[in-house]
Structure 1
């Protein structure tokens, strides 16, 4: 009978992959990188395969390494879940890196982050903001927040909520250019467009057979830039509701044709490779995030 890998060796392998290298994994685990390297080498010798291609700057999974990673993550997850169950009163602590779109951090997480810190002061949170989709391993993120359908749904994930769309304009812009009485009237206005994804720029309405074509005033790659341009009176644009809820409430923007805009809400999902980064701190953050999104939905309803 072949000797099976030890769970601790699999946990080291997972930590090295998720950390993007031995140095970062060593920092997270408080272990010398050379010790981790020897552990992975021992695992490779036991399995008689090469799991990682090492270089001075990075590591890369071999096909065998990728095959092992998924099984190793599940083994580590189950082991740590059992340990966490046995230590249910353990205080969440340690580093947690979250990658999320810029608007989601600015409008959802940041305004209420003090609440999370007050509940869990020993969780060392790092927020990485980007408007592009990231690879969890390459970005060294413990959690990534994604919108819409998941291209990599084989990863561990947790649905957090949905974000409806709102078509908005600044009141003074409409005062200058005319308030639309029907969606077809939007063709006389201008649109602030997202350079990507382009589907956000498509405006469909119930009762109309084709999208309304609105001339472009300017395009921007960043959601916050689009929002600022619309508030500044450059034209109309479609936003996720969390981006503009406060602007609408405080009168900087108005919503146009809320009952006729035809756009399916975006699914909001948290992705994570494994709970080996710390089951308790990962779980309490996801619970808190789901809670504040539910609070937002209840306030909107």
Structure 2
């Protein structure tokens, strides 16, 4: 079976057991390591892989072909995207400025656009999509005015001399009282989704029970990251929602995409498909 997820520590930690044949009854998995901007696009194309990690923000484009699985993804509290600049800036300064984002179909982008609609009179200027690991150097070097960053950048942005304008996750949690939907696991609706869900959940539980066994695999794929930062990354992004979205998780996804539809940021879609795996 084919699966695609990022080389980030939370994904390699979660899927280590699944892709190394450690889950009884699970088939062999062929892994494609890809930035979420790539998988967001891949999921909309003919011949997309069977199982993928994409952004929750990309779900409206793919739910007719793919089902959302309630485990394996990234959703939580205190883990939202950050908006960074060279110097400390007021949000109003962003009006008409150039802002880099990791994907126009990312949760980070949706949160930023929803936040900016409230906080930036007149709106921001040009949106530039670039791989997330290139954003902080581009802000530092003055190539762009501000950057929206995700993943381990939360722990490393100060080393680039950058300043925090706003934490999109803190804004979202304050505004909605809900957790932050980040990365979703989707699978083709033609698959045995119940079995797949069981294998992925077993992989999550295995990772928690045997954290030392995945360390080498995690660090092989971590992008110039220290073991300490990798552990902080895992501790933040792998949580109870990774094992099971639950009602709070589904409510958060519905709130995010409902607001995005109202703002015209994503196409209209059948919201019932979020919970419908048939």
TM-score (norm 1): 0.44
Higher relative contact order (CA 8 A, sep 6+): 2
TM-score by length of 2: 0.47
Larger radius of gyration: 1
